[in-house]
Structure 1
Amino acid sequence: MKTMAMTKELAALVDASPLAITADELTFMLDHIGDPDGKLRDDVIYTLFGRGFFEGGFTADQRAEVAREVLRRQDLWRDIDRPGTDAVFGRTFTALVGTLILNYDAAHAFLTDDQRRTYMQWAVTYLQREKDYRGYVSGHGWAHAVGHGADFLGSAVQHPQFLHTLIPDVQKSVVTVLRRMTSAFLDDEEQRLAAALVVGLTAHNISLREWTDWLAVEHAYLWHNYAADSLPSYYRLSAWLRIMQNAYFLLPVDDPARQPCLAFINDYFIQMGFRQ
């Protein structure tokens, strides 16, 4: 009954203006970041976290509490080696809350140096460990680990205090997702991955040389491992094409980082026999 009453109480706050969240309400929100009830988790809890950070719903102490508690609870890693369970919702929505935290910190620095480093390290390694690639889960709503993980990755790589030493992990995160694929993505995962890379480029945290060199290596690897009778190898190459297409159109029209994307897009169509 207490859970039902608190759920109703929080649902009434979703459109409240001005928004104020009590200590008990915040504790419940933290306890239910990954609730299996998609409506509660997505439409209420996550919405209130977003409004709390970016519409003044949290006090400074509450923002600090959220940042501390997310790190303390470690839900980003809970049961990460057991794909297919409901724990995925705790992981992926912790990634989304981590995105809010890093985005807010980028504009209004409030994390400690240690917290900021930890959130960035989490953001650039989460996709290397996540194996549950489900998108929409019937009866529970969105898991969408790759999409949410890409958002978290992007929030780190565009941060003004991003650590350049983490660039290899940014690249490894995308590579790991591609090489772990066994079926086609269905829920725009590729454009979320592309967006994460593009914000790093436009923030000048990924250099043109790093971008160009990495694309060349990954493009060559995927083609070297492509076989016409291997569906997984085709899905990986097709996902790579869509990442390149999305990156090309997301980048500013005068950005030289578009050129290697276009070259690899053209090469795909030539090698697949669509053009000379």
Structure 2
Amino acid sequence: MNTKETLNKLKQDTTMIQHADIDSMLALMFAEIGSTDAELRDSIIYSLFSEMIVYQPLTIQQLHEIREKALSHEGMFYKIGERNTDSVFTRSFSVLLLPLLLERNNREYFLVEDQIQEIKQAILRYLSEEKDFRGYIAEKGWGHALAHISDAIESISEHRWTVLESSSILDRLKTILQSDDTILTNQEEERILIAIMPMIIHQLIDKSILEGWIQSLADFESTNDTAKDYVILHNTKTFLSALYFRLKKHPSLHTDTNLIENAFDQLKQRFYLS
């Protein structure tokens, strides 16, 4: 029986996990976490990590080993900085383990404060260093690094992000949104909003900072390459549209959605849009 068959058997009957050699099973899953086989990586391995981390009686040591592996250069920092290579699957799916660990921690509190701070700093570093933000990759499935890191941001309670860190997250997200490398077409804007709206609602992001950030999105500097400028324009407009309607649902925030309308007008003028 090969790795895929072995793990799929456990996925189909999760009661068998309690009788399995957990350490060997985890080693097998980590060895294939970046597989280019979408079914093995996403449907089987991630599903098993979700089941095991959140629901199975893993030891505290095993949970910490998963955390350490996820945060390591074999996990979310594996070949960090590469573009358009298969290494993104290892990084992106390692990132996706963080929300699972934090969900478990909400019940059992196995993470001490220094370890939560380590996770936060890894998230911030990843936002700065990841360069491959492809969504769905033909024949290999979801890379979706931006969606996954957004899930990790959201999984840290909004009360744990400081005002300075929240502002830093906005700056780093702006850099990603306005990269000319990738057209974002897989609902990344919605995942970003799930991550940052709690910060806005709980006023970790000051109104003036948010409004300045919105304006800065419309003021992006031209690359002097029309094709690249239109990638940035697409990503910016898609995100601002989603933000506009999300803010409209929270009138108590007193954030001026007219500013977004003005940003659109500015973009129209710059790019001669009808």
1:134/1:145 contact within 8 Å kept = yes
- Matching residue's letter, 2:262: D
In structure 2, the residue matched to 1:10 is: 7
Matches of 2:104 and 2:180, distance apart in 1: 32
Distance 1:102 1:232, change over 3 A: farther
In structure 2, the residue matched to 1:121 is: 121
- 1:186-265 equivalences in 2 (<5 Å): 186-202=185-201, 204=202, 206-207=204-205, 209=206, 211-220=207-216, 222-223=218-219, 225=221, 230-250=226-246, 253-257=249-253, 259-260=255-256, 262-265=257-260
Query: Which stretch shows the higher mean deviation, 162-171 or 86-95?
Result: 162-171
- Matching residue's letter, 2:152: F
Deviation at 1:85, TM superposition (A): 1.7
Relative to the length of structure 1, the TM-score reads: 0.82
1:137/1:143 contact within 8 Å kept = yes
In structure 2, the residue matched to 1:71 is: 71
Relative to the length of structure 2, the TM-score reads: 0.82
Deviation at 1:205, TM superposition (A): 6.3
Query: Which stretch shows the higher mean deviation, 215-224 or 117-126?
Result: 215-224
- Matching residue's letter, 2:7: L
Matches of 1:186 and 1:254, distance apart in 2: 26
SS in 1 for 2:101: helix
Deviations 1:234-259 (A, max 9, x none): 43244233323323444583453473
SS in 2 for 1:13: helix
1:106/1:159 contact within 8 Å kept = no
Distance 1:28 1:251, change over 3 A: farther
SS in 1 for 2:84: coil
SS in 1 for 2:252: coil
Matches of 2:120 and 2:114, distance apart in 1: 10
1:135/1:144 contact within 8 Å kept = yes
In structure 2, the residue matched to 1:29 is: 29
2:72/2:78 contact within 8 Å kept = no
How many matched pairs? 268
Identity %: 24
Deviation at 1:43, TM superposition (A): 0.5
Deviation at 1:101, TM superposition (A): 2.0
Matches of 1:49 and 1:250, distance apart in 2: 32
1:198/1:247 contact within 8 Å kept = no
Matches of 2:59 and 2:203, distance apart in 1: 31
SS in 2 for 1:77: coil
- Matching residue's letter, 2:51: R
Deviation at 1:229, TM superposition (A): 7.4
Matches of 1:108 and 1:258, distance apart in 2: 38
